[in-house]
């Protein structure tokens, strides 16, 4: 099961492209897209459904956990979560067979950040064993947890799962910051990349683009050329 989420209209194009990229590598996974009913226009879910997503409206859960838990109640026992700004390049179905509760790829920061190749994980691609019990425990802990609130789910997930999360190879979440940090590492990885993550410039967003705006095909083509 692949899980994505649609939080605002301006990510409608990227979620559609993400679905197409998953299908293009012959993944056998179902595609489930979470969205908050009433937070996006009717057009955005229509685009997502046409691209191959099955839509699942969920109630808003305040940051940081963001409503990705509790999916076992929908018959989903294991999933791979993909951020909307990710692009699948190679089949990754082996992640569904991992014998771990939580696995993710280590984070990588650009050359202007001293953290570099970090021990924390990036939440853009996660292989998860679903559990409503874990979600309820997370909700209980959030009130007393100490983490940088501005980093929302990234910080809390690292606090909650950090010591237990299995670290996956970079090929499963190739942040573009890797390329900026070390071109040599990027060149070594690029022929085996399963998922590329557009953590820097996003080819489907204009600068200061309103959340409700969906780019026209012409605007999207221009942004892709720049990116």
pLDDT in tens, 75-123: 678 999 999 999 999 999 999 999 999 999 999 998 888 888 999 999 9
pLDDT in tens, 138-182: 888 877 777 776 666 788 899 899 889 999 999 999 999 999 999
Residue with tokens 């998953």: 22
Q: What is the pLDDT of residue 45?
A: 86
Q: Once rounded to an integer, what is the mean pLDDT over residues 61-65? A: 53
What whole-number distance in Å separates Cα of residue 141 and Cα of residue 152? 14
Q: What is the pLDDT of residue 206?
A: 61
Indicate yes or no: pTM above 0.95: no
Q: What is the pLDDT of residue 203?
A: 72
Q: Once rounded to an integer, what is the mean pLDDT over residues 221-226? A: 56
Q: What is the pLDDT of residue 37?
A: 80
What are the sequence ranges of the domains in the chain? 2-220
Does the pLDDT value for residue 225 go beyond 50?
yes
Please give, one letter per residue, the 3-state secondary structure of the chain.
Answer: CEEEEECCHHHHHHHHHHHHHHHHCCCCCCEEEEECCCCCCCHHHHHHHHHCCEEEECCCCCCCCCCCCCHHHHCCCEEEEECCCEEECCCCHHHHHCCCCEEEEEEECCCCCCCCEEEEEEEEEEEEECCHHHHHHHHHHHCCCCCCHHHHHHHHHHHHHCCCCEECCHHHCEEHHHHHHCHHHHHHHHHHCCEEECCCCCCCCCCCCCCCCCCCHHHHHHHHHHC
Mean pLDDT over the full length of the chain: 85
Q: What is the pLDDT of residue 115?
A: 84
The CATH class of 2-220 is: alpha beta
**28 pLDDT band (50/70/90 cuts)?**
very high
Q: Once rounded to an integer, what is the mean pLDDT over residues 11-35? A: 94
Does the pLDDT value for residue 66 go beyond 60?
no
Q: Once rounded to an integer, what is the mean pLDDT over residues 49-61? A: 87
Residue with tokens 């590329």: 196
């Amino acid at each position: 099961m692949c899980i994505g989420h649609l939080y605002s209209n301006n990510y409608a194009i990227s979620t559609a492209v993400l679905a197409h990229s998953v299908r293009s590598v012959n993944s056998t996974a179902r595609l489930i897209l979470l969205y908050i009913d009433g937070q996006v226009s009717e057009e955005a879910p229509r685009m997502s459904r046409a691209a191959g997503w099955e839509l699942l409206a969920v109630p808003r859960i305040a940051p940081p956990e963001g409503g990705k838990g509790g999916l076992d109640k929908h018959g989903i026992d294991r999933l791979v979560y993909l951020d909307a700004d990710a692009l699948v390049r190679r089949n990754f179905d082996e992640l569904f067979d991992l014998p771990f509760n939580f696995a993710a790829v280590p984070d990588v920061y650009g050359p202007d950040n001293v953290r570099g190749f970090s021990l924390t994980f990036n939440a853009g691609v996660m292989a998860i064993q679903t559990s409503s019990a874990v979600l309820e425990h997370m909700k209980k802990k959030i009130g007393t947890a100490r983490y940088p609130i501005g980093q929302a789910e990234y910080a809390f997930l690292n606090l909650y799962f950090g010591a237990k999360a299995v670290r996956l190879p970079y090929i499963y979440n190739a942040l573009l910051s890797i390329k900026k940090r070390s071109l040599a590492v990027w060149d070594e990885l690029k022929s085996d990349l399963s998922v590329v993550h557009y953590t820097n410039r996003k080819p489907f967003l204009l600068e200061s683009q309103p959340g409700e705006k969906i780019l026209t095909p012409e605007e999207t083509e221009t942004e892709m050329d720049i990116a």
